[in-house]
């Protein structure tokens, strides 16, 4: 299971996240502002000047987010309930369905299927900057896991 540390950049006009594996900057994710639907893009360590590795786009109500690879193929779909008293969501990867319930406070999300197999786990870190750790299972595309974790962070602001 690859482990990533995701940190939001402090001074930026758009949402930007630095993603590290250990001490090495591996990816940069950026979001779009002033759009009717949320959009995220994942780049290599060179940032927006480099190649797009994956994208994610949500619907107007921010209840459904679709993650796409560079060819436009859907990697996964992240679904949040329109109304909920707890922080929960569902992840659909092909035929597999995973779910997570972070409770009321929700600082840790473990996304698992009915058999208990994990797709990914997100845990907020206590720090001055907004940061969280992400563990992605080997059978989930790490690019999809990274964009899903950022969408979860933005949706719940945990």
Label the pairing between strands 118-125 and 108-112.
Answer: antiparallel
Residue pair 25/14 in contact (Cβ under 8 Å)? The answer is no
Q: What is the pTM of this model?
A: 0.92
Query: What domains appear along the chain, each with residue ranges and CATH number?
Result: 3-156 (3.20.90.10)
Q: Give the angle 10-12-18 at the CA atoms, nearest 5°.
A: 65
> Could you tell me which residues are beta bridge partners of residue 76?
67
Please report, in tens digits, the pLDDT of each residue of the chain (158 residues total).
889 999 998 877 888 999 999 999 999 999 997 889 999 999 999 988 999 999 999 999 999 999 999 999 999 999 999 998 889 999 999 999 999 988 767 688 999 999 999 999 999 887 767 889 999 999 899 999 999 999 999 888 76
Q: Which two tokens stand for residue 113?
A: 């299927």
> In the chain, what is the greatest distance between 2 CA atoms, to the nearest angstrom?
42
């Amino acid at each position: 299971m690859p482990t990533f540390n995701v940190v939001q950049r402090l001074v930026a006009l758009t949402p930007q996240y630095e993603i590290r594996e250990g001490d090495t900057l591996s990816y940069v994710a950026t979001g779009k502002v002033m759009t009717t639907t949320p959009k995220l893009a994942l780049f290599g360590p060179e940032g927006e000047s480099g190649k797009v590795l994956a994208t994610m786009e949500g619907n107007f109500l921010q209840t459904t987010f679709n993650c796409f690879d560079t060819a436009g193929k859907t990697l996964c779909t992240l679904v949040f309930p329109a109304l909920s008293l707890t922080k929960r969501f569902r992840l659909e990867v092909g035929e597999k369905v995973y779910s997570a319930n972070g409770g009321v406070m929700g600082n840790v999300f473990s996304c698992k299927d009915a058999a208990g197999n994990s797709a990914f786990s997100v845990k907020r870190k206590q720090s001055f900057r907004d940061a969280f750790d992400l563990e992605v299972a080997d059978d989930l595309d790490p690019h999809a896991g990274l964009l899903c974790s950022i969408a979860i962070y933005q949706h719940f602001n945990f």
